[in-house]
Structure 1
């Protein structure tokens, strides 16, 4: 693979990751809050009647759903809280995705000379190696992002900034504090492996269908739109399957 191809993967991975991070940040905040056992704003009051007629207020904790969590965040913290951690996310997602896709494509190119070209073994090893590389390089950024997303404060209260979070982590644990949860993140490589194995398989089927189709060259714009839709569908399907299978690792991070 030429140096130009590597740069293309770096640029495309970085741009795609940045756009995805901005669009999905509110969902990421809700997911992080739901996964955390330390966030306790899902409290409701239940009024009970005693035998003698007096009423007693009891505080009951209920299991929230995503919509309930979203509603509470908007009510107590405001819309801006749905983008907590976006700064570190944007700082980290571009290099993370760039490193990942560059490592994946490079590893895939070299392993094609070791195993059968574009085989399942090539995709699995390439995805695993790329995930390990990206996680090791960017774990401190994701730790800061998660801490900021878990910083639930009411409207008007001073919110913790990324620099405040960095100082807090460093004072508490030193440099090693920025690598907490990295071993659990390595467990998440399984999701990446499953994702790319399914994606490459679907993508190969799409290419075979494209070759077998009889679209005229005059309909180039239609063909390009069809190719883009096929890639989007393959990526969405493979990511959904991988996340569903490997989701429990997210509770460890």
Structure 2
């Protein structure tokens, strides 16, 4: 029975992740481009007062292109297909990564429930953190290849590397260690997962308590229950993304080819010094547009499949 439950969580997590990845790929490409240091910044002029002579001087200040400008640039220079760069490794990796994540989350939740206060916030955060650690450690090479493919800029009509060619190139130029660039930033991003699941499980428990209150008798799940779960997932992911987003920018910079970014804190310091703290939130808008519906789709699909197959197995 335990093996059957594990397979159920693996299958449900994989299905949810695959559906979400296909529907939101273009937004992920836009987010990655906005996060990168290779993005062309537009200089504008600001007035700076307080020179020794008492006069003002004009100095250039970079302005980050907006989401629509980056989208227009990709469509004009690289073609619409570039909006789906990295979809191959994403599809290869998203099903096993989501499957591993949800299976690890389910198993660790059982374990922590036996040690800590059952179904408490600490249990949810610990389970989410452990599952994210396992998933990031195993899946980083695939996400590294995906990011490199999304950052590759080739003019319309020029041949682009596929996933296998990109992986071979990384191995040839950087060795096995190259596949684990950005892993420290992914570990830092575990905080986002923990915050997300803490909020999600809290909202889920509140919805369940309200659902099964005396005024709402009945045990069968209704379509509105899954819509409520989607809303809970969207709220949880939106809050968590805004809080922990800077690690995403640092991770993308660490994965750039031949870049000056070497380590997590060194990268954070360089970005802050050279571009200001606002740079840590570049790409946040497409991230929210992508991740909020994606997380809602993934979690609700997961809950639906667990519910349907769980009932069928009883």
Indicate whether the TM-score tops 0.5. Answer: yes
Shift of 1:39: 3.3
Does residue 229 (structure 1) correspond to residue 227 (structure 2)? The answer is yes
SS at match of 1:13: helix
Does the CA contact (< 8 Å) of 1:88 and 1:162 recur in 2? yes
Give 2:263's aligned residue: none
Give 2:134's aligned residue: 133
Does the CA contact (< 8 Å) of 2:124 and 2:197 recur in 1? yes
CA distance in 2: counterparts of 1:191 and 1:151, whole angstroms: 27
For 1:68-87, list aligned pairs within 5 A.
68-87=69-88
Shift of 1:214: 4.0
Does the CA contact (< 8 Å) of 1:148 and 1:162 recur in 2? yes
CA distance in 1: counterparts of 2:39 and 2:243, whole angstroms: 26
Does the CA contact (< 8 Å) of 2:42 and 2:64 recur in 1? no
Does residue 99 (structure 1) correspond to residue 100 (structure 2)? The answer is yes
Shift of 1:86: 0.1
Which digits, 9 at most, give the CA deviation of each residue in 1:187-225, with x for residues without a partner?
0000000000000000000001101164576x96xx511
Give 1:10's aligned residue: 10
CA distance in 2: counterparts of 1:213 and 1:166, whole angstroms: 57
SS at match of 2:155: coil
Q: Runs of 5+ in structure 1 lacking a partner?
A: 45-59
Does residue 36 (structure 1) correspond to residue 36 (structure 2)? The answer is yes
CA distance in 2: counterparts of 1:228 and 1:213, whole angstroms: 20
CA distance in 1: counterparts of 2:106 and 2:132, whole angstroms: 12
For 1:1-253, list aligned pairs within 5 A.
2-40=2-40, 62-212=63-213, 214-215=215-216, 224-253=222-251
Bigger shift: residues 168-177 or 80-89: 168-177
What is the TM-score when the length of structure 2 is the normalising length? Answer: 0.71
Q: How many residues align?
A: 237
Which digits, 9 at most, give the CA deviation of each residue in 1:150-169, with x for residues without a partner?
01111111111112211111
The change in CA–CA distance for 1:112 and 1:61 in structure 2 (over 3 A counts) is closer
CA distance in 2: counterparts of 1:213 and 1:240, whole angstroms: 32
Which digits, 9 at most, give the CA deviation of each residue in 1:71-118, with x for residues without a partner?
111111111111000000000111100000000000001111111110
CA distance in 1: counterparts of 2:173 and 2:116, whole angstroms: 47
Which digits, 9 at most, give the CA deviation of each residue in 1:111-133, with x for residues without a partner?
11111110011111111100000
Give 1:51's aligned residue: none
SS at match of 2:174: helix
C-alpha RMSD of matched pairs (Å)? 2.2
CA distance in 1: counterparts of 2:237 and 2:17, whole angstroms: 14
Shift of 1:227: 0.5
Does the CA contact (< 8 Å) of 1:39 and 1:150 recur in 2? no
CA distance in 2: counterparts of 1:72 and 1:173, whole angstroms: 30
Shift of 1:3: 1.8
- Which runs of 4 or more aligned residues in structure 1 lie more than 3 Å from their structure 2 counterparts after TM superposition? 213-217
Which structure carries more relative contact order (alpha carbon 8 Å, separation 6+)? 2
CA distance in 1: counterparts of 2:217 and 2:109, whole angstroms: 33
